[in-house]
Structure 1
């Protein structure tokens, strides 16, 4: 990758439209949230980052953000399930990006009630506070998992919704609450529906860092779940740009907008591509039964229809899959100690 290509992946927007705007990012300590927070700061926004409270005052992935950027962020340690805390966090903010959620699908089989509390009730707390405080724009984060296994591809925003896991059911409920507040109270809420996002800072819970860590660590075999599902993968800086584009576009208010590449790859082929990028193309890939979803819960094909993203807000992805995977492999090599390659992370 040449310097120009790398700069295009890592340099963040300096769009003057965000200069001086007061913005809240819930879930700012997460993978996408940390990248979005960084991009907003570099664009000139005054960012308040809502991070889930722990006794360690953990910043999550915000700890990996450039220290100069991080010093510009107002960090609020809080909890999305507390309506009073949410209201305080939103106060005086012009725009809210709501990313806080429980997202691990395997754990949703274990503790579904916690997903309802965080993803549905937490979203209700955000909606109520945004309505009462007169927020100019709220971007609510959905997920391609709400579509379930594709009935047709590419999957456009009119595709039927299918709850195939407690996680996806909770996100469907949250999306419905957002739509209801738009229709009932004219709340200026836009729903963004990212397909699978990947990149530096992503946890080993996700398939790409899981594979990359095992390859970089020198394992002879890569242990994965089902190798057949097809996923549409977007590099995280492109996804962050999508959030900002959706927030800026009036045409996205009251609508769901997909963010994806419009191309799919099987998990098996993805693992082989990661191994190739890492210089180990001959590594064995094996199926690990403990990583399999229940048969009726597995989502077998997700390929985004992105025409409306282009039409409504002018968003298109810019980073190729090979370029993005190269960045991930480099990140994992530099941070291998953070990955427990011998343990399945739920």
Structure 2
């Protein structure tokens, strides 16, 4: 599918990956409509940081992904939907699992129902590497068993299954996009890299973390959104799921030490029990396969881990960005 000139809706456009995808699809020549979460502050999330020259080219729709009527209204007249809206924090999913079912499963169902009724040309549903759980083999390909090790991952497995069922039952043109561990500017403090960077930049000498032994396959956000675009263009992937992964891994501890060496070599890591996942819930190894995306698209990783980390650190060094993060508390 050629995306240039298409009317595209991005749900979760106000969030981390969503806001970067907005920028990328504008570059691609799309007519972008951004679905942002309605709130009484009239905040458009990270889109508020965009220059007016960019914002003026975007159609903003404020709504709630849990509301089927609002979702249908937002999707009317759209060609392609990139569905990213979700609750993503794993620790909060232990606290409030109901909200993950409502947002991640029912929200996805709302998108799929409207897409079916409105004859949307393509729907891309965003999954997560967390659906795989701790690797049973590596690299983890799309055939790997799904292991719901947290309420969050269970909700995303449910959303993936609903999406697949709509392809099989109604021939809805759905593709499931499964990024591994994306990082970069604008990422939530609930993720490990912003947690480490913000503590260091705020002068902390003891960096509070949970378990430092798990490994992750880390993707810089610009590589992730390039993956979304490449997968959207690949009609052969309709009805399938597709990883975006670097096919590499690094432990949380090694990652933290790499950031410490760049920012403040005198700092040290301290384990904080409140940050530990329940033992059976911790995903100890994520190491994704990029074979499928390499076979069906021209996507390639453009940013090394070090390059991505340095760009991320420079973004956080700016006072107007760093002040948005509460480095002195544990963000669940």
Same fold (TM over 0.5): yes
| Deviation at residue 19 of structure 1 after TM alignment | 2.8
* Residue correspondence of structure 1 range 48-67 to structure 2 within 5 A: 48-67=33-52
1-side partners of 2:249 and 2:49: how far apart? 30
| Deviation at residue 18 of structure 1 after TM alignment | 2.9
* CA contact 1:252–1:313 (8 Å) conserved in 2: no
Of 255, 259, 262 in structure 1, the residue corresponding to residue 244 of structure 2 is: 259
Of 149, 153, 156 in structure 2, the residue corresponding to residue 168 of structure 1 is: 153
2-side partners of 1:305 and 1:323: how far apart? 21
* CA contact 2:205–2:266 (8 Å) conserved in 1: no
2-side partners of 1:344 and 1:177: how far apart? 33
* CA contact 1:188–1:253 (8 Å) conserved in 2: yes
| Deviation at residue 41 of structure 1 after TM alignment | 1.1
Structure 1 residue 301 corresponds to structure 2 residue 277? no
| Deviation at residue 63 of structure 1 after TM alignment | 1.5
Equivalence for 1:102:
87
Equivalence for 1:313:
297
Of 191, 207, 219 in structure 2, the residue corresponding to residue 206 of structure 1 is: 191
* CA contact 1:154–1:303 (8 Å) conserved in 2: yes
* CA contact 1:251–1:313 (8 Å) conserved in 2: no
2-side partners of 1:281 and 1:320: how far apart? 22
Q: How many residues align?
A: 330
Structure 1 residue 124 corresponds to structure 2 residue 109? yes
| Deviation at residue 37 of structure 1 after TM alignment | 0.6
Structure 1 residue 337 corresponds to structure 2 residue 311? no
Of 66, 72, 93 in structure 2, the residue corresponding to residue 87 of structure 1 is: 72
1-side partners of 2:149 and 2:251: how far apart? 19
| Deviation at residue 192 of structure 1 after TM alignment | 0.5
Equivalence for 2:306:
322
Equivalence for 2:54:
69
1-side partners of 2:107 and 2:217: how far apart? 28
CA distances 1:279-329 after superposition (whole Å, capped 9, x unpaired) = x22311011111110110000000110000010122121101001100111
Of 201, 216, 226 in structure 2, the residue corresponding to residue 241 of structure 1 is: 226
* CA contact 1:94–1:137 (8 Å) conserved in 2: yes
SS in 2 for 1:282: coil
Runs of 4+ in 1 over 4 A off after TM superposition: none
Of 260, 268, 276 in structure 2, the residue corresponding to residue 292 of structure 1 is: 276
TM-score for the superposition, normalised by structure 1: 0.94
| Deviation at residue 332 of structure 1 after TM alignment | 1.0
* CA contact 2:142–2:241 (8 Å) conserved in 1: yes
* CA contact 1:144–1:302 (8 Å) conserved in 2: yes
* CA contact 1:21–1:46 (8 Å) conserved in 2: yes
Structure 1 residue 192 corresponds to structure 2 residue 195? no
2-side partners of 1:67 and 1:285: how far apart? 41
SS in 2 for 1:338: coil
Of 116, 119, 124 in structure 2, the residue corresponding to residue 139 of structure 1 is: 124
TM-score for the superposition, normalised by structure 2: 0.98
2-side partners of 1:288 and 1:59: how far apart? 33
Which piece of structure 1 moves more, 222-231 or 329-338? 329-338
Which piece of structure 1 moves more, 16-25 or 36-45? 16-25
CA distances 1:214-248 after superposition (whole Å, capped 9, x unpaired) = 11111111000100000000000110011111111
2-side partners of 1:154 and 1:65: how far apart? 37
